[in-house]
Homo-oligomer: A and B are copies of this chain.
Amino acid sequence: MPKSGPRQPVMADVARLAGVSHQTVSRVLNGSPNVTQATRTKVVAAIRELDYRPNSMARALVTRRSRTLGVVSFASTLYGPASMLDGLEQAARSAGYFVSVASLRSLDPRSVQEAVDRLRDQGVDGVAVIAPQTSSAGGVADVVSPVPVVMVGTGTPSAIPRVAVDNVSGALAATRYLLGLGHRTVHHVAGPEGWLESREREQGWRRALSEAQAEAAQTFSGDWSARSGYEAGLRIAADPRVTAAFCANDHMALGVLRALHEGGRSVPADISVVGFDHIPESAYLVPPLTTVRQDFETLGRRALGLLVEELSGVAHSGHQVLIAPDLVVRSSSGPAPARDAAAIGRVTRPKASAVRR
């Protein structure tokens, strides 16, 4: 417990010790070129001796830059959001920024606006929003903010810059892959309404079905949780026509796997299951889960890049970055069951292009 002993040294203390003016100390700290090597050395020595740390509040007050970025996140205990936050923090640190978080409990636009305002009150230079846009209410799209805002992970194309995983192409790849295995059609366990991820993944799935002129298949709707996947899985297990299921995330796929197991349906012999997210444990489910992998690290890095670019004055409104996910094939998916023998003949299982881990 530090007593209220000698107060923290300030710039003037350093200046006095080094025998210069406080402004010279400031110049050294900010790397001004117009400082003699000799005085620079003296100043650095004084700084080290006193263990001087610049006061970031005072600096922020005068420069009007806090070097702090705000991150608004939703459901941050989920794998995806947590990974994005982590990626963002890594990138921010190496760019010399601090990161301040504000998590939301609810998705309505009002609470998003509140979170942004809260961060703004704290004086952040920019805000990254890791939150799905509610398709109905507009969500982040019309957040007003005096500081730059970028959306991370998802979001509709809009005036707000964004870095997003290409959910459509991921879902497209997963569904095409299943159709390529000879399945007549692919059923879908969708995410909750209001999440853009849900909509986009469903959209990719639909596109794959229609381009292959496959039968329209039923959609089950969940809320991302293993529980909801389980419930969808019970209904899938009861429907003998289902041979392939594409789930909007891995946790729901996990629940589906469990329900199929209970229902006596074998995976992949009877039903193929594919997830989305590539959570770390997906490789160790029973059976190991075929899924779509997203690179959250580059996501964070790109988002930060956009934000920094934005607040460097380069007002690139409407800049959009899409990051393509890739399919990781494991043993939860395989050829369509034998009764669909006609189809199996024309199957080419994409072994070479698949990543197995």
Interface residues in chain A, defined as those with a beta carbon under 8 Å from any beta carbon in chain B = 1-2, 8, 53-58, 60-61, 66, 68, 76-77, 79, 82-83, 85-86, 89-90, 93, 98-103, 105, 118, 120-123, 146, 225-227, 229-230, 251, 254-255, 257-258, 261, 280-281, 283-286, 288, 315, 317
A322 to B2, CA, bound (A): 25
Contact B86 A103, beta carbon cutoff 8 Å: yes
Contact B122 A227, beta carbon cutoff 8 Å: no
Neighbouring B residues of A284 by C-beta, 8 Å: 226-227, 229-230, 254-255, 258
| Residue from the set A60, A100, A255, A284 with the largest chain B CB neighbour count within 10 Å | A284
| A227 and B100 contact, Cβ closer than 8 Å, known pairs A58-B61, A61-B61, A77-B86 | no
Neighbouring B residues of A57 by C-beta, 8 Å: 57, 60-61, 66, 123
Selected from B90, B122, B225, the residue in CB contact (under 8 A) with A68 is B122
Contact A100 B100, beta carbon cutoff 8 Å: yes
Name 21 interchain pairs, CB-CB below 8 A, sorted by A.
Answer: A1-B315, A8-B146, A57-B57, A57-B123, A68-B100, A77-B82, A77-B83, A77-B86, A85-B101, A86-B103, A90-B103, A90-B105, A93-B118, A99-B101, A100-B100, A101-B101, A225-B280, A226-B283, A254-B284, A258-B288, A286-B286
Chain B nearest CB from A95 CB (Å) reads: 13
Neighbouring B residues of A281 by C-beta, 8 Å: 225-226, 251, 254-255
Chain B nearest CB from A209 CB (Å) reads: 27
A122 to B67, CA, bound (A): 9
Neighbouring B residues of A89 by C-beta, 8 Å: 101-103
A82 to B288, CA, bound (A): 25
Neighbouring B residues of A61 by C-beta, 8 Å: 55, 57-58, 61
A58 to B226, CA, bound (A): 47
Contact B280 A258, beta carbon cutoff 8 Å: no
Contact B82 A93, beta carbon cutoff 8 Å: no
Neighbouring B residues of A227 by C-beta, 8 Å: 283-284
Selected from B56, B254, B283, the residue in CB contact (under 8 A) with A121 is B56
A120 to B56, CA, bound (A): 10
Chain B nearest CB from A107 CB (Å) reads: 16
Neighbouring B residues of A100 by C-beta, 8 Å: 68, 98-101
Query: What 20 additional pairs, Cβ within 8 angstroms, besides A1-B315, A57-B66, A77-B79?
Result: A2-B146, A55-B123, A56-B123, A57-B57, A57-B60, A57-B61, A61-B61, A77-B86, A93-B118, A99-B100, A100-B100, A225-B280, A226-B280, A230-B284, A251-B281, A254-B281, A254-B284, A255-B281, A258-B288, A261-B286
Neighbouring B residues of A1 by C-beta, 8 Å: 315, 317
Neighbouring B residues of A66 by C-beta, 8 Å: 57
Contact B85 A76, beta carbon cutoff 8 Å: yes
Contact B286 A258, beta carbon cutoff 8 Å: yes
| Residue from the set A8, A60, A227, A230 with the largest chain B CB neighbour count within 10 Å | A60
Contact B76 A86, beta carbon cutoff 8 Å: yes
A19 to B21, CA, bound (A): 41
Closest to A59 in B: B57
Q: List 3 A-B pairs, minimum CB-CB distance, nearest first.
A: A226-B284, A226-B281, A57-B60
| Residue from the set A55, A82, A89 with the largest chain B CB neighbour count within 10 Å | A82
